[in-house]
C-alpha cells in the first residue's frame, strides 16, 4: 500500500514538474520575437529535454541584447549616412550602364541589394577565382608581404595550427615594417585559439580581438549563436579577398577526415576592395566598444570611395558587397539568392555544404525546376556536423523528388558557397543555404555581374560534377529506416541547427 502511494506521489510530482517545464518553455520562447519555425523547434527541444534543453538554450538560443543590436545599427548608420550621396550618384551611372534587356536581371538584383543593404555598386574590379586552399593562401601571404599601409583580416576561423602560424608570421612581418595590421575573429569558430596567440603581433604594433566579445571571455559569454561567419581580407584598400575559406589546416587538405577541401574564394583588385574595407571597419569598430582597441577611421574609408565610370566594361567586373546579420530583418543575402532563383530563365547552379533552406528558397527551387529551369545543387558526401548533414539529406531528397538535380561531391569535402545563373549573375561568399546563414550569422557575399566570371564559375561547377554522384529517388529509397528517422528528426530541428 505504501509502495503504491509512494509511486503515485512521484508520478504526480513528475507531472507537476513537467507542466512547470512546459510553462517555462512557452515563456522562454515567446518572450522574444521569432519566426514560427524557430518557435516550434525550440518548444520541441525545451519540452522533450526538460533540463538539457534549457542548458542548450542558454548557450545557443538566446537572442542578441537590445544594447548589442542598437550599437551595431548605430555603427552601420554612421557609415551609411556618409556614403548615401556617393551611392545615389553611383546608381545613376549604373542605370546608364545597364540599359539593355540582356542585363535586366542584373539591374533588378542591383536595385534589390541597394534597397536592402545600401550595397554600393563598384566598377573597375579584376577578379581571380581560387578553388584550392594552398594556392589561395600562398597568394594571400605574398600580398601580405607586399603591403605598405594596412592589412585587415576578418575570419570566422583562425586556428593556431600550421597554416594559422604561417598567416600570423606574415602579419607580424607586415607589422614590423610599419603597416597597420588588425585581426578580427570569432571566438566559437576559432576554438583553441587564445588571445596569447596574437601577443607578439600586438608587441609589434598590430591588434587582434574576438568579434563582439572581450578577450578570454569564452566561458562568461555563453552564446554560441550569432557567429561572425564572414571571411574578409583587405590589403592597402586595393586588394580584397572574399569567399568560403577559413584559416586552418583542414582548409588546405591537412585533415584526413575531410581529405581534399574544395572551396571557392575571390581575389578582387579594384573598388570592391574599398567596400570590403568599409565592412571590416564597421565590424571592427562595433567590437572596439568592448575592448578599447583603436578604431578604423570611417571618414578615410569614405573619402577613398571614388565613384568612377568603368574603364573596360567587357573585362572589369561590376560587383556589390552585400552583408546580412541578426541585427536586422532585411535578409539581404537570402533575398538576393531568392531573386536569382526566381528570375532564372535557363539554369541555376548552387554549391553549398549545408542544404537546409527556408520555405521561400525551397519553394523557389521547386517552382524553377518544375518550370523547366535546369536547377543543380552540389552538397558534400560526408558530414562535418551529423544533425546538419541528416537535415541536408532530408531536403536533398525532397528537392530530388521535385525535379531538382542534386549532386554529392565525392572528392573530399565541398565547402563552397556559390550560385551562378544566366549570362552574368554570380554570388560567392560566406553564406550557406541554411537557416543559420539566413538569420543567425553575420555573413558577406560578393554579387557579381560579369559574363566571363559567371562562365568561369559555371565551368568549375561542371568540372566538379565529374567527381560527383547524381542522387536519385532510388538512392534515398535504399537508405535504412533508422537513417530516414534521423533525417526526419533533424529536419524538425533544422531552424535551430
- Summarize pLDDT for 145-174 with one digit per residue, the tens: 999 999 999 999 999 999 999 999 999 999
- Measured in whole angstroms, the distance separating CA 360 from the mean position of its chain's CA atoms is 18
Taking a C-beta distance cutoff of 8 angstroms, is the pair 380, 390 a contact?
no
Distances in Å between the Cα of 359 and the Cα atoms of 84, 92, 99, 325, 385 are 33, 35, 33, 19, 22
Question: CA-to-CA distance for 16 and 50, rounded, in angstroms?
Answer: 13
Report the pLDDT averaged over residues 418-422: 97
Question: CA-to-CA distance for 351 and 347, rounded, in angstroms?
Answer: 14
By C-alpha distance, which of 318, 333, 305, 313 is closest to 87?
Answer: 305
In the predicted structure, residue 314 carries a pLDDT above the cut 70 = no
More confident site: 299 or 72: 299
Taking a C-beta distance cutoff of 8 angstroms, is the pair 103, 76 a contact?
no
Taking a C-beta distance cutoff of 8 angstroms, is the pair 318, 123 a contact?
yes
**What sign for the dihedral angle of Cα 320, 325, 330, 332?**
positive
In the predicted structure, residue 54 carries a pLDDT above the cut 50 = no
- Measured in whole angstroms, the distance separating CA 86 from the mean position of its chain's CA atoms is 27
Question: CA-to-CA distance for 151 and 399, rounded, in angstroms?
Answer: 43
DSSP string, 418-460: EEEETTTEEEEES--EEHIIIIISBEEEEEEE-HHHHHHHHHH
The grid coordinates of residue 441 equal 550569422
Question: CA-to-CA distance for 35 and 41, rounded, in angstroms?
Answer: 10
Mean pLDDT over the full length of the chain: 84
Q: Compute φ and ψ for 194, nearest 5 degrees.
A: -100, 170
More confident site: 326 or 460: 460
More confident site: 22 or 474: 474
By C-alpha distance, which of 273, 317, 268 is closest to 139?
Answer: 268
**pLDDT tens-digit map of 330-366:** 899 999 999 999 999 999 999 999 999 988 999 999 9
Confidence class for position 47, pLDDT limits 50, 70, 90: low
Tell me, what DSSP letter sits at residue 260?
A: S
3 state SS for 341-393? HHCCCCEEEEECCCEECCHHHHHHHHHHHHCCCEEEEEEECCCCCHHHHHHHH
Could you give the residue ranges of the DSSP H alpha helices within 147-257?
162-177, 199-203
How many CB atoms within 10 Å of residue 169?
14
| Percentage of the chain modeled with pLDDT above 90 | 57
Question: CA-to-CA distance for 265 and 103, rounded, in angstroms?
Answer: 25
**pLDDT tens-digit map of 192-248:** 999 999 999 999 999 999 998 776 555 444 445 678 999 999 999 999 999 999 999
Question: CA-to-CA distance for 105 and 1, rounded, in angstroms?
Answer: 78
Taking a C-beta distance cutoff of 8 angstroms, is the pair 444, 279 a contact?
yes
How many CB atoms within 10 Å of residue 37?
15
Taking a C-beta distance cutoff of 8 angstroms, is the pair 112, 449 a contact?
no
**pLDDT tens-digit map of 425-448:** 999 999 999 988 998 899 999 999
More confident site: 265 or 292: 265
Q: Compute φ and ψ for 5, nearest 5 degrees.
A: -60, -40
The residue assigned the cell 545613376 is 92
The residue assigned the cell 545599427 is 73
CA dihedral of 301, 305, 311, 316, whole degrees rounded to 10: 60
Partners of 351 in beta bridges:
378, 418
Question: CA-to-CA distance for 228 and 289, rounded, in angstroms?
Answer: 16
The residue assigned the cell 533544422 is 494
How many CB atoms within 10 Å of residue 118?
19
- Measured in whole angstroms, the distance separating CA 36 from the mean position of its chain's CA atoms is 23
The grid coordinates of residue 264 equal 571557392
Q: Residue 427: exposed, middle, or buried by beta-carbon count in 10 A (0-12, 13-18, 19+)?
A: buried
By C-alpha distance, which of 335, 434, 341 is closest to 385?
Answer: 434
Buried b (16+ CB within 10 A) or exposed e, 276-298: bbbbbbbbbbbbbebbebeebeb
In the predicted structure, residue 1 carries a pLDDT above the cut 50 = no
Question: CA-to-CA distance for 315 and 4, rounded, in angstroms?
Answer: 84
Tell me, what DSSP letter sits at residue 328?
A: -
Amino acid at each position: 500500500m505504501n509502495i503504491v502511494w509512494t509511486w503515485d506521489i512521484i508520478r504526480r510530482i513528475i507531472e507537476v514538474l513537467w507542466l512547470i517545464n512546459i510553462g517555462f518553455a512557452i515563456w522562454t520562447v515567446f518572450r522574444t520575437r521569432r519566426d514560427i519555425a524557430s518557435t516550434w523547434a525550440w518548444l520541441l527541444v525545451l519540452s522533450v529535454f526538460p533540463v538539457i534543453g534549457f542548458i542548450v538554450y542558454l548557450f545557443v538560443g538566446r537572442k542578441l541584447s537590445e544594447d548589442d543590436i542598437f550599437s551595431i545599427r548605430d555603427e552601420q548608420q554612421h557609415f551609411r549616412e556618409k556614403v548615401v550621396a556617393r551611392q545615389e550618384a553611383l546608381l545613376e551611372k549604373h542605370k546608364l550602364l545597364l540599359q539593355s534587356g540582356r542585363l535586366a536581371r542584373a539591374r533588378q538584383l542591383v536595385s534589390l541589394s541597394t534597397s536592402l543593404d545600401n550595397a554600393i555598386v563598384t566598377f573597375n574590379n579584376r577578379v581571380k577565382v581560387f578553388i584550392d586552399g594552398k594556392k589561395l593562401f600562398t597568394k594571400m601571404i605574398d600580398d601580405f608581404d607586399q603591403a605598405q599601409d594596412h592589412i585587415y583580416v576578418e575570419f570566422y576561423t583562425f586556428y593556431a595550427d600550421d597554416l594559422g602560424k604561417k598567416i600570423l608570421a606574415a602579419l607580424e612581418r607586415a607589422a614590423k615594417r610599419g603597416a597597420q595590421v588588425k585581426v578580427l575573429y570569432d571566438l566559437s569558430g576559432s576554438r583553441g585559439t587564445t588571445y596569447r596567440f596574437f601577443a607578439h603581433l600586438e608587441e609589434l604594433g598590430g591588434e587582434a580581438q574576438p568579434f563582439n566579445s572581450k578577450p578570454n571571455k569564452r566561458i562568461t559569454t555563453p552564446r554560441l549563436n550569432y557567429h561572425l561567419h564572414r571571411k574578409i581580407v583587405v590589403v592597402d584598400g586595393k586588394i580584397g579577398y572574399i569567399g568560403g575559406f577559413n584559416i586552418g589546416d583542414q582548409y588546405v587538405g591537412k585533415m584526413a577526415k575531410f581529405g581534399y577541401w574544395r572551396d571557392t574564394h575571390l581575389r578582387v583588385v579594384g573598388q570592391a576592395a574599398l567596400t570590403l574595407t568599409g565592412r571590416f571597419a564597421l565590424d571592427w569598430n562595433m567590437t572596439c566598444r568592448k575592448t578599447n582597441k583603436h578604431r578604423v577611421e570611417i571618414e578615410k574609408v569614405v573619402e577613398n570611395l571614388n565613384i568612377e565610370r568603368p574603364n573596360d566594361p567587357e573585362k572589369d567586373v561590376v560587383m556589390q558587397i552585400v552583408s546580412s546579420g541578426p541585427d536586422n530583418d532585411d535578409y539581404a543575402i537570402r533575398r538576393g539568392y531568392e531573386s536569382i532563383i526566381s528570375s532564372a530563365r535557363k539554369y541555376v547552379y548552387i554549391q553549398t555544404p549545408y542544404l537546409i533552406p527556408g520555405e521561400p528558397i525551397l519553394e523557389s527551387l521547386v517552382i524553377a525546376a518544375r518550370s523547366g529551369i535546369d536547377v543543380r545543387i552540389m552538397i558534400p558526401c560526408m558530414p562535418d556536423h551529423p544533425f546538419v548533414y541528416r537535415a541536408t539529406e532530408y531536403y536533398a531528397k525532397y528537392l530530388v523528388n521535385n525535379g531538382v538535380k542534386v549532386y554529392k561531391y565525392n572528392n573530399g569535402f565541398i565547402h563552397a558557397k556559390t550560385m551562378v545563373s544566366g549570362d552574368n549573375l554570380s554570388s560567392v561568399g560566406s553564406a550557406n543555404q541554411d537557416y543559420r546563414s539566413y538569420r543567425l550569422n553575420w555573413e558577406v557575399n560578393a554579387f557579381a555581374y560579369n559574363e566571363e566570371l559567371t562562365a568561369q564559375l559555371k565551368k568549375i561547377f561542371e568540372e566538379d560534377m565529374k567527381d560527383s554522384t547524381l542522387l536519385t529517388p532510388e538512392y534515398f529509397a535504399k537508405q535504412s529506416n533508422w537513417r530516414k528517422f534521423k533525417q526526419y528528426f533533424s529536419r524538425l530541428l533544422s531552424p535551430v541547427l
